[in-house]
Amino acid sequence: MTIWLAALTLGLAAAPPLGKVAVLDVQATGVDEAMTGLLTEVLTTEVQRSGRFTEVIAGRDVKAMLSFEERRQILGCSDESCLAEIGGALGADRIVVSNVGKVGETFVITVKLIDIVKARTDARGYRRVSGPPEALLDGIQQAVRDLWRPAEAEPVAPVGASTPAPAARPLPVAPLVLFGVGAVGLGVGVGFGLDAKARRDHAADPTYVGGQAEIAKGKTSMVLSNVGYGVGAAAVVTGALLWLLGGDDDAVAVAPAVGGGAVGVAVGGRL
């Protein structure tokens, strides 16, 4: 049972045969005749090694099967329909054509696999090779192997995939500092305010000794309470404005300000 399943898996994984293929001689410019013949041999060998065809014909076999006129036609044949006629004369299902050209010091190799019945190109191989002509041997091998590689598609986002959210803006430091200063200031105001109320209550008690001293201390506590409330409120308001405006922390200077019968927070710099 295991052997049967393994054989079935291998059968499904193997590429289906593509029928009979004819490999035409490499058409080359800038390369001598001996190297062109060697490139044709390498091209044919690589096609055979692929194991994708039931039969491979090339070289002398192709020439023997074509008339002189048909062999002349190959030299000026470049489009799929023309090559399909050549392949039909050879009784092939597909045909492999190749070209080697030279641009400056670089060789350009192209290989095409053409479907004879549909008169269309099924696959293309392309390589650029620099160096001596001998480097073409490896280049044409790679170009043939490109024919069997599936086209690399660009990754497509899954349907319904959400767009990545933009990076969150870092929290501004200056508003947070001001919120902290405001909380401390309001806390100071509440503390001294409660102290001032307690001393006032003591001074109002006729039985309490030292009422005048408590009144003086109560006034001091009340002043400090007002300062705390003023600084705290100003810091919170300024911090809220900076938060909403998104000011640059490095361009903002914050300091408490007391004077002229008023207390607050001085903000300087560029907002």
What is the tens place of the pLDDT at every residue in 133-175? 888 999 999 999 998 886 443 443 444 444 455 555 566 777 7
Beta strands in the chain (DSSP E): 20-23, 27-28, 55-58, 94-103, 106-115, 120-130, 252-259, 262-269
Q: Please give the model's pTM, rounded to 2 decimal places.
A: 0.49
Please report the pLDDT score of residue 40 as a whole number: 92
DSSP state of 118: T
Q: Please indicate whether residue 238 or residue 110 has the higher confidence score (pLDDT).
A: 110
Range scoring the smallest mean pLDDT among 163-172, 182-191, 235-244: 163-172
Domain parsing of the chain, residue ranges: 18-146, 173-269
Cα dihedral: 188, 189, 194, 198 (round 10): 100
Angstrom distances, CA of residue 98 to CA of 39, 69, 139, 173, 239 = 10, 20, 12, 67, 73
**Confidence class for position 264, pLDDT limits 50, 70, 90:** low
| pLDDT, mean of residues 66-82 | 70
Share of the chain above pLDDT 70, in %: 69
Indicate the CATH number of 18-146 among 3.30.460.10, 3.90.1170.50, 3.40.50.10070, 3.10.450.50: 3.40.50.10070
Q: Is the torsion defined by CA of 85, 90, 92, 95 positive or negative?
A: negative
Query: Across the chain, how many H-helices and E-strands are there?
Result: 8, 8
CB under 8 Å to 45, separation ≥6 — which residues? none
Q: Among 13-22, 33-42, 129-138, 249-258, which is the least confidently predicted range?
A: 249-258
d(CA 141, CA 44): 10
Q: Indicate whether 194 pLDDT > 80.
A: yes
Sequence-distant (≥ 6) Cβ neighbours of residue 94 within 8 angstroms = 18, 19, 20, 21, 22, 53, 87, 113, 114, 115, 116, 122
- State the first-to-last Cα distance of the chain, in angstroms, to the nearest integer: 79
Q: What is the pLDDT of residues 92-117, one digit of tens each?
A: 899 898 999 988 889 999 999 988 88
Please give the Cα distance from 42 to 234 (Å, whole number): 85
**Is pLDDT larger for residue 112 or for residue 87?**
112
CB 56, CB 44: distance < 8 Å = yes
Q: Where is pLDDT greater, at 266 or 145?
A: 145
Q: What values do phi and psi take at 14, rounded to 5?
A: -70, 145
**Is residue 170 classed as helix, strand or coil in its secondary structure?**
coil
